[in-house]
C-alpha cells in the first residue's frame, strides 16, 4: 500500500511538473508569437508594387472617405476655413487630401465655398512614404506650408509641438484599425483634437453597438475585440463612450464587405481620459486580428452626454 501511494505521488509530481513546463513554455512563447506577428505586420507596411497584399489600400479617394464615414464628416470638412486644420492618419498616397483641393470638390460642395476661402490646412501622416508626383504637384500649387505630408513615423511618435491642434481628424482603416495600443492611440488623437473638433474613423468586422452582426469570417472572432476585466465582452462603441469629455456616435453599415461600424468622436472639453487596455492577441493581416483586455480602474463609467 505504501509503494502504491508513493507511485501515485510520483506520478502526480511528474504530471504537475509537465503542466508547469508547458505553462512556462506558453508564457515564454506568447510574447514571441506576438512579436513575430508584429514583425509580419511591418513587412506589410513596407510592401510595394506587386508585393502589396490584397486589402492593404493606400489610395482611397475623398469620395470613398465620405461614403464610409458618418455624414457629418462631409459637411464639417466643407465648412472648414483657411485657418482651420484637417489631419488624416494612415493617409497612404494622400489621395483624399489631393481631392480636397480640386475644383471638382468645390463644385460638389457649393454650400461651403464662402467659409472655405483658401481651404483648410491639411496634414497627412503615414508610417511609410507613399507620395506620388500627383501629391507633389498639388502641394506645389497649394503651398507646402498648407498641405503637408509626414512619413515614416507613427502617431504616438509625434508631440504637440510637432503637429499642433486640428478641427477634423480622420482615420479610414489606418492606425485605429492596426495599432497594438488602442488606448495610447486614442489619447494621442484626442490630444491633437481641438475642443468641439471631431475624430472620424471606422472598423471592419467588429461587434456593433446594436449587436446584430456576427463575425464575418465563419469560425473566426471579430477582427477587433475587447474583453472586460471580468471576462465579459466590451463593444468598441461602448469603450469609446467610456472616454471622458467626448460625445460618441456609432453606426453599423452592413452593405460593406465585411460590414463596418463607423464612429464619430467629438471632443467637448479638455479633460479627456481613455480607459486603459492591454493587447493580449495580435495576428498580422489587412487589417490585423486584435484582442484587448480592459484593466481595472476606479469609477470607469460611460461618459455623459453621448449620442
Calculate the average pLDDT of the chain: 87
User: What's residue 21's pLDDT?
Assistant: 44
Cell of 226: 475587447
197 three-class SS = strand
**In the chain, where are the structural domains located?**
1-45, 58-294
* Fold adopted by 58-294: Rossmann fold (3.40.50)
Is residue 89 scored above 80 in pLDDT?
Answer: yes
- In DSSP terms, 160 is beta-bridged to none
Sign of CA dihedral 15, 19, 25, 29: positive
Is residue 19 scored above 50 in pLDDT?
Answer: no
Is residue 239 scored above 50 in pLDDT?
Answer: yes
Nearest to 53 by CA among 44, 62, 41: 44
Is residue 80 scored above 90 in pLDDT?
Answer: yes
144 three-class SS = coil
33 three-class SS = helix
Nearest to 180 by CA among 25, 34, 29, 20: 34
| Percent of all residues in the chain with a pLDDT value above 90, rounded to a whole number | 73
Contact between 225 and 292 (Cβ < 8 Å): yes
Is residue 71 scored above 60 in pLDDT?
Answer: yes
Residue pLDDT, tens place only, 153-205: 999 999 999 999 999 999 999 999 999 999 999 999 999 999 999 999 999 99
Q: Average pLDDT of 283-298?
A: 89
Contact between 148 and 176 (Cβ < 8 Å): no
Cell of 6: 508513493
Contact between 169 and 192 (Cβ < 8 Å): yes
Give the Å distances, CA to CA, from 24 to 21, 28, 82, 89.
5, 6, 58, 39
Give the Å distances, CA to CA, from 302 to 187, 245, 267, 268.
17, 10, 15, 15
Q: What is the reported pTM?
A: 0.85
pLDDT band with cut points at 50, 70 and 90 for residue 115: low
More confident residue, 49 or 173: 173
Contact between 78 and 116 (Cβ < 8 Å): yes
- Quickly count: other Cβ atoms within 10 Å of residue 288's Cβ: 20
pLDDT band with cut points at 50, 70 and 90 for residue 29: low
User: What's residue 41's pLDDT?
Assistant: 83
Q: Average pLDDT of 245-272?
A: 97
Amino acid at each position: 500500500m505504501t509503494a502504491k501511494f508513493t507511485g501515485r505521488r510520483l506520478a502526480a509530481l511528474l504530471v504537475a511538473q509537465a503542466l508547469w513546463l508547458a505553462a512556462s513554455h506558453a508564457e515564454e512563447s506568447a510574447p514571441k508569437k506576438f512579436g513575430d506577428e508584429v514583425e509580419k505586420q511591418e513587412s506589410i507596411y513596407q510592401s510595394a508594387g506587386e508585393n502589396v497584399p490584397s486589402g492593404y489600400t493606400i489610395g482611397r479617394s475623398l469620395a470613398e472617405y465620405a461614403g464610409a464615414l458618418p455624414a457629418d464628416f462631409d459637411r464639417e470638412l466643407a465648412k472648414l476655413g483657411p485657418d482651420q486644420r484637417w489631419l488624416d492618419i494612415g493617409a497612404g498616397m494622400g489621395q483624399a487630401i489631393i481631392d480636397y483641393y480640386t475644383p471638382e470638390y468645390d463644385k460638389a460642395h457649393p454650400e461651403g465655398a464662402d467659409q472655405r476661402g483658401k481651404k483648410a490646412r491639411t496634414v497627412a501622416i503615414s508610417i511609410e512614404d507613399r507620395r506620388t508626383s500627383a501629391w507633389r504637384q498639388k502641394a506645389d500649387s497649394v503651398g507646402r506650408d498648407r498641405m503637408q505630408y509626414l512619413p515614416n513615423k507613427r502617431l504616438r511618435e509625434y508631440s504637440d509641438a510637432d503637429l499642433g491642434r486640428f478641427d477634423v481628424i480622420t482615420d479610414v482603416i489606418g492606425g485605429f484599425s492596426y495599432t497594438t495600443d488602442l488606448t495610447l492611440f486614442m489619447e494621442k488623437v484626442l490630444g491633437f483634437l481641438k475642443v468641439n473638433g471631431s475624430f472620424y474613423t471606422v472598423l471592419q468586422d467588429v461587434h456593433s453597438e446594436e449587436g446584430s452582426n456576427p463575425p464575418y469570417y465563419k469560425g473566426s472572432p471579430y477582427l477587433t475585440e475587447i474583453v472586460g476585466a471580468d471576462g465579459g465582452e466590451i463593444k468598441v462603441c461602448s469603450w469609446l463612450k467610456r472616454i471622458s469629455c467626448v460625445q460618441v456616435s456609432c453606426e453599423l453599415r452592413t452593405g460593406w464587405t465585411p460590414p463596418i461600424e463607423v464612429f464619430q468622436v467629438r471632443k467637448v472639453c479638455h479633460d479627456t481620459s481613455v480607459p486603459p487596455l492591454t493587447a493580449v492577441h495580435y495576428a498580422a493581416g489587412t487589417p490585423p486580428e486584435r484582442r484587448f483586455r480592459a484593466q481595472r480602474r476606479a469609477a470607469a463609467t460611460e461618459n455623459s452626454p453621448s449620442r
